[in-house]
């Protein structure tokens, strides 16, 4: 198709008109929308204002009326004023509320919140609740947490205990009688309290002979590092005599199909347990991480547990609640396996738990009995551990000394074989065998120290004794020391620099330098520089770990350097080593099956390389 000049001009004018039309039409639509919005705004302004406060008040009245209606024979308890009563012993102070006849909060006397400096409070949020459903009339039920019990009274009990009692009355106002009694027993110097529920006519109050207990618990931040506290928060339970736990993370649920002795929540250093003395027959527990806006909430958990209640004129449901520190020694004395929730080695690291229970904790407790500084206790604990593994350390250094004695001969082999790594490896293995030297002798003892490190990592991470304890420049041995703060975040490192981490890295580098001086030169560049690279990695791994652990690592490294110097210069006789190597060479050698297979594989690889070269 051929376009002439007039056609082109026509199409151009038509395009301009279309552009003008759409531009103009768009402007008109926007103007119309703006005018409509203005008119709507005027109309809304002219309308009578809605009294939001009145609407809210009407909603509250409607809820209150519904609540009273559901209360049935307990209508007198449906409304009232909340009042608190207090009881305390040497370790905590508990506030009880008459609304639900339950604990309002627990204040631990011997522990301070790391953020506020105030005493640690547990179960102090509105979310917290201990309640169960009761039948109030035909087809009506209420939660005990929504009803007002009689004002609690505190009385002295036997052996210095205190007894707090709440009663829930029902029936006609003229003939009201007690149907439910909540009794709490607080013992001297104990974190556990007994909670007894006494029911009159339980067959009438409960459905199908079960008390369906609701336990809601919200853990609030107690430590300076909220993220680390969340990482170390768990729920645990003892089901049919078997302990299990879950780390708080995404929302999760566990169903209980067997009898349950107890359920609990541990937020790193503080535990709350709910114990059924006659066992829960089943139930479920769910937990979740808080929303982003809940900056001080560590976790929320909700448990619905079932307790069978024997029919009769009266019934008693014995429970107990533990509010206190995650202290292995205290929980061990309480029994019932509560101490299993203390992380002394869990999951794939469960194999180090016996090491903590039977070696590290007893040694730590021994020194705690007469040494006041926990930093010194950690140093003494480190010294004892290093003495216990000193035979392995000596074996490692002896192997290193033998390797050093063979350095001249290894150097000759390198000159002989040049770049032929296969032939070099075969002759080097032959040399080691003739001299009676195990090239892995220096590595195997080091492997035995790995369980010790994992055990101490768990121990220092969970030991409440170290919480808020200062040592040198560290203000809290249970958290990282941060004398150097950047004011901004560095990827992998954080916003601070731990000085104990620096000392651990420097002493690790010194060990690497000394160890490399005792071993044959490495032809593999990666193996040559690996001992220097690993200590640098520690800088990023250790910087956010508890300063107790990095202090231990520093002390352990210093002891290692001292032992290296003493053993190499005053204990190991290098002349005797050379004489023993010569004597070993003269002895007839028998190859193990493993050595024979290894040499066969090396020989086959060498032959394949030679064939490839000929091709």
Residue with tokens 């193990």: 592
**pLDDT tens profile 459-473:** 988 899 999 888 988
- Residue 442 · residue 531 · CB < 8 Å: no
Q: Are 256 and 237 in contact (CB under 8 A)?
A: yes
| SS3 of residue 549 by DSSP | helix
In sign, the C-alpha dihedral spanning 76, 82, 86, 92 is positive
Beta strands in 465-513 (DSSP E): 484-490, 494-497
Strands 314-325 and 153-156 turn out to be unpaired
Q: Is 45 exposed, middle or buried (0-12, 13-18, 19+ CB in 10 A)?
A: exposed
User: How many Å apart are CA 571 and CA 590, to the nearest integer?
Assistant: 31
Total residue count of the chain as it appears in this document: 615
Q: What is the pLDDT of residue 298?
A: 87
Which tokens sit at 264?
A: 């609990």
Asked whether 233 and 309 are in contact (CB, 8 A), the reply is: no
Q: Which tens digits make up the pLDDT trace of 163-219?
A: 999 998 876 655 567 788 999 999 999 999 999 999 988 888 888 888 999 999 998
CB contact set of 139 (below 8 Å; sequence gap of 6+): none
- Return the number of other C-beta atoms located less than 10 Å from residue 450's C-beta: 10
- Cα angle: 89, vertex 93, 96; to 5 degrees: 120
Express each pLDDT in 482-499 by its tens digit. Answer: 887 777 777 777 777 889
- 141: pLDDT strictly greater than 90: no
Residue 12 has pLDDT above 60, yes or no: no
pLDDT band (50, 70, 90) for residue 7:
very low
Q: Where is pLDDT greater, at 430 or 217?
A: 217
Summarised one tens digit per residue, pLDDT across range 42-71 is 655 555 554 555 444 444 444 554 555 576
Determine the Cα–Cα distance for residues 158 and 153; give it in Å rounded to an integer. 16
Average predicted confidence (pLDDT) for the chain: 78
- Which class for 392: exposed (0-12), middle (13-18), buried (19 or more C-beta within 10 A)? middle
Q: What is the 3-class SS of 337-379, one letter each residue? A: CHHHHCCCCCHHHHHHHHHHHHHHHHHHHHHHCCCCCHHHHHH
Q: What was the pLDDT predicted at 305?
A: 93
Structure-token pair, residue 569: 């210069």
Contact between 270 and 222 under an 8 Å Cβ cutoff? The reply is yes
Q: Write down the pTM of the prediction.
A: 0.75
Any bridge partners for residue 271, and if so which?
266, 324
């Amino acid at each position: 198709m051929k376009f002439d000049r007039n056609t082109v001009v026509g199409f151009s004018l038509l395009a301009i008109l279309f552009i003008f039309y759409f531009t103009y039409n768009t402007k008109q639509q926007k103007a119309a929308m703006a005018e409509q919005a203005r008119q709507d705004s005027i109309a809304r302004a002219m309308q009578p204002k809605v009294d939001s406060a009145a609407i809210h008040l009407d909603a509250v009245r409607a809820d209150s009326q519904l609540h009273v209606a559901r209360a049935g024979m307990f209508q007198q308890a449906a409304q009232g004023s909340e009042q608190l009563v207090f009881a305390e012993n040497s370790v905590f102070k508990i506030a009880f509320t008459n609304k639900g006849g339950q604990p309002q909060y627990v204040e631990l006397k011997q522990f301070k919140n790391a953020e506020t400096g105030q005493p640690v409070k547990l179960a102090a949020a509105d979310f917290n609740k201990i309640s169960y459903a009761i039948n109030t009339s035909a087809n009506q039920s209420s939660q005990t947490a929504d009803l007002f019990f009689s004002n609690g009274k505190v009385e002295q009990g036997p052996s210095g205990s205190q007894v707090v009692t709440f009663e829930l009355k029902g029936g006609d106002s003229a003939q009201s009688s007690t149907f439910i009694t909540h009794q709490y027993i607080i013992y001297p110097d104990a974190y556990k309290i007994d909670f007894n529920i006494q029911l009159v006519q339980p067959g009438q109050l409960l459905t199908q002979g079960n008390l369906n207990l609701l336990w809601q618990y919200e853990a609030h931040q107690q430590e300076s590092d909220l993220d680390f506290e969340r990482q170390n928060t768990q729920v645990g339970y003892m089901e049919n005599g078997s302990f299990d736990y879950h780390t708080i993370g995404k929302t999760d649920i566990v169903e209980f199909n067997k009898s349950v002795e107890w359920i609990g929540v541990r937020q790193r250093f503080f535990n709350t347990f709910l114990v059924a003395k006659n066992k829960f027959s089943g139930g479920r527990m769910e937990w979740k991480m808080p929303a982003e806006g809940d900056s001080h909430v560590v976790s929320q958990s909700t448990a619905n547990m079932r307790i069978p209640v024997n029919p009769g004129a009266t019934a008693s449901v014995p429970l107990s609640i533990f509010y206190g520190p995650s202290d292995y020694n205290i929980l061990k004395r309480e029994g019932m396996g509560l101490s299993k929730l203390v992380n002394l080695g869990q999951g794939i690291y469960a194999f180090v738990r016996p090491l903590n229970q039977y070696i590290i904790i007893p040694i730590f407790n021994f020194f705690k009995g007469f040494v006041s500084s926990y930093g010194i206790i950690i140093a003494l604990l480190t010294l004892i551990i290093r003495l216990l593994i000193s035979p392995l350390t000596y074996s490692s250094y002896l192997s290193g000394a033998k390797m050093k004695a063979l350095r001249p001969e290894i150097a000759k082999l390198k000159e002989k074989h040049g770049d032929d790594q296969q032939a070099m490896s075969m002759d080097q293995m032959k040399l080691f065998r003739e001299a009676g030297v195990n090239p892995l002798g220096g590595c195997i003892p080091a492997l035995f120290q790995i369980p010790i490190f994992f055990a101490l990592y768990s121990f220092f991470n969970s030991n409440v004794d170290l919480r808020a304890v200062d040592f040198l420049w560290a203000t809290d041995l249970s958290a990282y020391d941060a004398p150097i703060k950047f004011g901004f975040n560095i990827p992998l490192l954080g916003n601070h620099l731990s000085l104990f981490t620096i000392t651990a890295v420097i002493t690790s580098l010194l060990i690497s330098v000394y160890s490399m001086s005792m071993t044959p030169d490495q032809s593999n560049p990666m193996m040559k520089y690996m001992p220097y690279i690993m200590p640098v990695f520690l800088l990023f791994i250790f910087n956010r770990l508890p300063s107790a652990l990095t202090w231990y690592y520093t002390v352990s490294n210093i002891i290692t350097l001292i032992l290296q110097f003493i053993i190499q210069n005053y204990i190991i006789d290098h002349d005797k080593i050379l004489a023993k190597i010569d004597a070993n060479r003269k002895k007839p050698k028998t190859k193990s099956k493993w050595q024979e297979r290894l040499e066969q594989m090396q020989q086959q690889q060498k032959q394949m390389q030679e064939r490839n070269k000929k091709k």
